[in-house]
Structure 1
Amino acid sequence: MKLLTIQTANGQRLGLLTEHGVLDVEEALSVLPADGQAAPRTVHAAIEGGESALQALQRLADRAAASPEAKAKAFKPEADVRFGPCVPNPGKIICVGLNYRKHAEETNAPIPEYPILFNKFNNTLNGHGGDVPLPKVSSKVDYEAELVVVIGRSAKYVTRDEALGRVFGYCAVNDVSARDLQLRTPQWLLGKSCDGFSPLGPYLVTADEVGDPNDLDIKLTLNGEVRQQSNTADMIFRVDEIVSYISQHMTLHPGDIILTGTPEGVVLGLPEAEQVWLKDGDVCTVEIEKLGALTNRFVKEA
C-alpha cells in the first residue's frame, strides 16, 4: 500500500494511492457510513494501527470506488495533489552517515566501524514537489539520495532477526546538506538542519510491497543528468543491522524515521575544481525502486 500526505489550505490529510487516483480519506469518510473499524485519518494513526488499520483503509477505498458519489468526491488525479511529507510528524529523525562503501571512498573517509549517527529536526521536513530554500548563510548546498526506514512497532534491544518486523514501510528522501556549515565543526547537525532540507516521499510504501530493503536500486538526477546511481546492497550497515543497533541505545517508536545514508556521486565527492553546488532553479529527483520518484526544486531563500 502507498500512503501519502495531501497538503490542503486547512492542513494535512491522509491519502492513499489507488488505481482510481489518490483517495482523500477525509472526503471518503464524509460521504460513506461507518463500516466496522474506522479507517485511520492520519498517516501516524495508520502507522500505529498496523495491519488492521491498513485493512480498514483498503475497505474504505473499495467502498469509495463502488459508490458513484464517493468516487466523484474522494478520488482526485495524482497530478492535482499537493504533497506534504509522507511522514508528517516523526518523533525522531535519525540519520546514518557514510553508510555506502563507495561514498566513503569518494570522500576519502575511513570505513566506519560502527554506524555514524546524527539527527535532523521536523523543521527540515518537505514534500514531493515542494521548493527547498537555499540558505543565505551557505554557498555549498549538496544533494543526497537516501532510503528511509519508517518504524511501525516499538523497538528496544531487538536483534537483527527481529528488526525488520518492527518496520512499517519505506520512502525516499533527499538529505540536503550545506557542506560549508556541516564541516565547520566536527558535529554535522548545523549543515543538515536548515529549513526544508528533508523532502520526504512521495509515498510511504508498506514493507510488504518493498520486500528486501537491502537490494533496491537508487538514483538521483540533477536537471535530468544522472548524478547518483547505486543499489542499497552497497550499504556498509544493512537495514536490519541499523534498526537493531539504534534500538540498543534508544527506544524506537512508531513513526520514527531513519535515513540510511547516501551512495557515491555527491558534489562533495568531486575534485574541488569540479564542484558546482546547487543553485537557484536546480531540480533534483530521487528515485528508489518500488518507492517512486521524489522531485524538488531549489530556490534562493527569500
Structure 2
Amino acid sequence: MKLLSYRSADRRSWGALVDREIVDLGRANPAWPTLAFALGEAGADGIGRAVTAAANTTHRVALDSVELLPAVPDPQKVLCVGLNFEKHRIETGRERTEHPVIFTRFADTFVGHGAPLVRPAASECFDFEGEVALVIGRGGRRIAPEDALAHIAGITCLNDGSIRDFQSHTHQFTPGKNFPATGSMGPWLVTLDEIADLAELELITRLNGAEVQRAPLSDLTYSIPEIVAYCSSWTELRPGDVIATGTPGGIGARREPPLWMELGDVCEVEVSGVGVLRNTILDEG
C-alpha cells in the first residue's frame, strides 16, 4: 500500500495510491484528517481496510492533478542518524561512535516530490544526502530491537539537503540542516508489509541523471532495529514520527572539487521497491 499526502486546489488531504488515482481517505474518513493521525488511530491495517471500503466511491482524484506534500507533512519528530554508513563516516574523517549520532530536522524544512529545493542566499554549499526514512506506525518507549519492526508503518525516500558551511560552524549539525525547503520526503510511504527485507533495500542518489550515491541498507553501521531501539530509549516515538537512517558515501562536500547542487539541477533519491523522489533546485528569491 502506498500512502501519500497532497494539496488539491486550496485543500490538503491524504490517501492511498491505486492505479494512478488517489483514494482520498481524508474525505472518506473526516475523523482522520492526516496520515499521522490515522496511523495513531487505526494503524496501517485499519487504513488498509479503509482503502478497501472507499475504493469504489467517488472519493478519488488523479495523481497528476495534485501537488504532492511530504509523505508525512506533520510529524511530531524528525530524527536523523548521522554517519551511519561506513564509507560516509570514513570520508568525513570521523571516529566510529559507541551509539548512533542523532540530530533533528524541523518538519517545515521539507517539501514533497516535484517541489523545488531552495538553495539559500546565505550559502552556495548546498549538498545532497539521499536517505531511507522510517515512518513510525505504533508509538512506544524502550522498544526492544526484536520488536522494532512492529512499530514501523512503512518506508519513504528522503533528501537531507545540507548547507555544509553552516553545518560546520560548530560540532552541532542543526543550523546546516534546517534552512527552509532544503529537504524533501516522498513521493509516498510504502507500508512495511510490501517490503520483504529492509536490509536488501538499495538507495541511489542521482544529480542531473548521474549516479552520485549507491548503497544497500545492509551497509548501515547501526541497523534499523538498533536505531528504533536507541531512539525510543530516550524519547517517546509517536505515530507519524520520521527517522532518517543516514546517507551513504559520495556526498558533494567530500569530492574534489566539491559538487554542490545549483540552480536548475535535478536531484533524485531512489529506494528500491519504494519509488523515486525528484526535485529541481531553485535559488532563494
Aligned to 2:60: 74
Distance in structure 2 (CA, Å) of the matches to 1:107 and 1:20: 41
Distance in structure 2 (CA, Å) of the matches to 1:182 and 1:227: 21
Distance in structure 2 (CA, Å) of the matches to 1:54 and 1:169: 13
Q: Does 1:99 align with 2:84?
A: yes
Distance in structure 1 (CA, Å) of the matches to 2:22 and 2:124: 38
The answer to whether the Cα contact below 8 Å between 1:39 and 1:60 also exists between their aligned partners in 2 is no
Q: Secondary structure at the match of 2:185?
A: strand
Aligned to 2:25: 25
Deviations along 1:214-266, one digit per CA (max 9) or x if unpaired, are: 22011011011111111111100000000001111111111111011000111
Deviations along 1:45-96, one digit per CA (max 9) or x if unpaired, are: 33111112321122211x23xxxxx2xx7231x3333101110100001110
Task: Give 1:182's aligned amino acid.
Answer: Q
Q: Which has the larger radius of gyration?
A: 1
Count of aligned residue pairs for this structure pair: 283
Q: Secondary structure at the match of 1:199?
A: strand
Percent sequence identity is 35
Task: Give 1:54's aligned amino acid.
Answer: G
Gaps of 5+ in 2: none
Aligned to 1:219: 204
Aligned to 2:2: 2
Task: Give 1:47's aligned amino acid.
Answer: L
Aligned to 1:298: 281
**TM-score normalised according to structure 2 size:** 0.94
Task: Give 1:251's aligned amino acid.
Answer: E
Deviations along 1:189-238, one digit per CA (max 9) or x if unpaired, are: 00000001221100111111123222201101101111111111110000
Residue 275 of structure 1: which of 237, 258, 261 is its match? 258
Gaps of 5+ in 1: 30-36, 65-69
Q: Secondary structure at the match of 2:175?
A: helix
Distance in structure 1 (CA, Å) of the matches to 2:234 and 2:2: 31
- Alpha-carbon offset, residue 41 of structure 1: 4.3
RMSD across aligned C-alpha pairs, in angstroms?
1.7
Q: Does 1:117 align with 2:102?
A: yes
Deviations along 1:117-136, one digit per CA (max 9) or x if unpaired, are: 01011221210001111111
- Alpha-carbon offset, residue 293 of structure 1: 0.3
Q: Does 1:287 align with 2:281?
A: no
The answer to whether the Cα contact below 8 Å between 2:26 and 2:34 also exists between their aligned partners in 1 is no
- Alpha-carbon offset, residue 7 of structure 1: 1.3
- Alpha-carbon offset, residue 26 of structure 1: 4.7
Distance in structure 2 (CA, Å) of the matches to 1:291 and 1:168: 13
Task: Give 1:81's aligned amino acid.
Answer: V
Distance in structure 2 (CA, Å) of the matches to 1:92 and 1:262: 19
The answer to whether the Cα contact below 8 Å between 1:154 and 1:252 also exists between their aligned partners in 2 is yes
